[in-house]
Chain A
Amino acid sequence: MRHKHMAQRADRSRQALRYGWMALCLLWAAGPLYLPAYYLTIANHIGMVALVALGLVLMTGVAGLTSFGQAAFVGLGAYVSAVLTTTYSLSPWLGLLAVVVVTISVAFALGAITLRLSGHYLPLGTIAWGLSLYFLFGNLEILGGHTGLSSIPPIEVFGYGLKSAASIYYLIWVVLFLAIVLSDNLLQAREGRAIRALKGGVIVAESMGVNTARSKMIVFFLAALYAGISGWIYAHYQRFVNPSPFSLHIGIEYLFMAVLGGATQVWGALLGAGLVTLLKEWLQDLLPRLLGSSGNFETIVFGLF
Chain B
Amino acid sequence: MNLDIVLLLAQDGLTNGAIYALLALALVMVFAVTRVIFVPQGEFVAFGALTLASFQSNKLPGTLWLLLLAGIICFLMDWRYQQGLGKGMARRLRWSLMWQVMFPLGLALLVFFLHSSPLGLAKLPLWVQMLLALLVVVPLGPMIYRLAFQPMAQAPILVLLIVSVAVHLVLVGIGLVFFGAEGSRTPPFSEGGLALGSVPVQAQTLWVLGTSLLFMIALGLFFERSLFGKALRATAVNQTGARLMGIAPAFAGRLVFVLAALMGTYSGMLIGPITTIYYDTGLLIGLKGFVGAIIAGLASYPLAVGGALLVGLLEAYSSFWASSFKEVIVFALIIPVLLWRSVRHQDLDDEA
Contact = CB atoms under 8 A, between A and B. Distances in A.
Interface in A227-267: 248-249, 252, 255-256, 259
B162 interface: yes
B334 A128 contact: yes
B335 A297 contact: no
Nearest to A251: B165
Interface stretch (B5-13, B168-176, B246-254, B304-312): B168-176
A84 B338 CA distance: 34
A134 to B, nearest CB: 9
Interface stretch (B49-57, B232-240, B341-349): B341-349
User: What range describes how many residues of A lie at the interface?
Assistant: 35 or more
Nearest to B350: A119
Contacts of A116: 339, 342-343
B111 to A, nearest CB: 23
A118 B176 contact: no
A151 interface: no
A249 B168 CA distance: 10
A305 B152 contact: yes
A159 B201 CA distance: 66
B152 A135 contact: no
Contacts of B334: 124-125, 128
Interface stretch (B87-95, B131-139, B191-199, B325-333): B325-333
A64 interface: yes
B169 A113 contact: no
B99 to A, nearest CB: 23
Contacts of A119: 157-158, 350-352
A116 B348 CA distance: 10
A298 B163 CA distance: 7
A120 interface: yes
B294 interface: yes
Given A124-B334, A128-B331, A291-B176, A117 B162 contact: no
Interface string A107-143: 0000001101111110111011101100110010000
Which interface class (under 10, 10 to 19, 20 to 34, 35 or more) fits B? 35 or more
Contacts of B290: 124
Nearest to B159: A305
Contact of A118 (B159, B291, B347): B347
B158 A66 contact: yes
A302 interface: yes
Contact of A293 (B148, B161, B169, B342): B169
A297 B159 contact: no
B287 interface: yes
B349 A135 contact: no
A118 B328 contact: no
B236 to A, nearest CB: 16
Chain B interface mostly helix, strand, loop or mixed? helix
Given A118-B347, A119-B350, A249-B169, A125 B331 contact: no
Nearest to A131: B331
Given A124-B334, A125-B338, A289-B177, A131 B287 contact: yes
A17 interface: no
Contact of B349 (A113, A129, A202, A301): A202
B245 interface: no
Contact of B327 (A114, A135, A295): A135
B331 A298 contact: no
B30 to A, nearest CB: 13
Contacts of A136: 325, 328
B328 A135 contact: yes
A120 B161 contact: yes
Contacts of A302: 148, 151-152, 163, 166
A289 B177 CA distance: 7
A203 B348 contact: yes
B155 interface: yes
A103 to B, nearest CB: 18
A114 B350 CA distance: 16
A113 B351 contact: no
A302 B166 CA distance: 9
10 contacts: A66-B162, A114-B339, A119-B350, A120-B37, A123-B158, A125-B335, A132-B328, A136-B328, A298-B166, A301-B162
Given A116-B342, A117-B341, A131-B327, 10 more contacts: A64-B351, A117-B338, A128-B338, A203-B348, A290-B176, A295-B170, A297-B169, A298-B166, A298-B169, A302-B151
Interface of B: 37, 148, 151-152, 155, 157-159, 161-163, 165-167, 169-170, 173-174, 176-177, 283, 287, 290-291, 294, 324-325, 327-328, 331-332, 334-336, 338-339, 341-343, 345, 347-352
The 3 closest A-B pairs by CB, nearest first: A294-B173, A139-B324, A119-B350
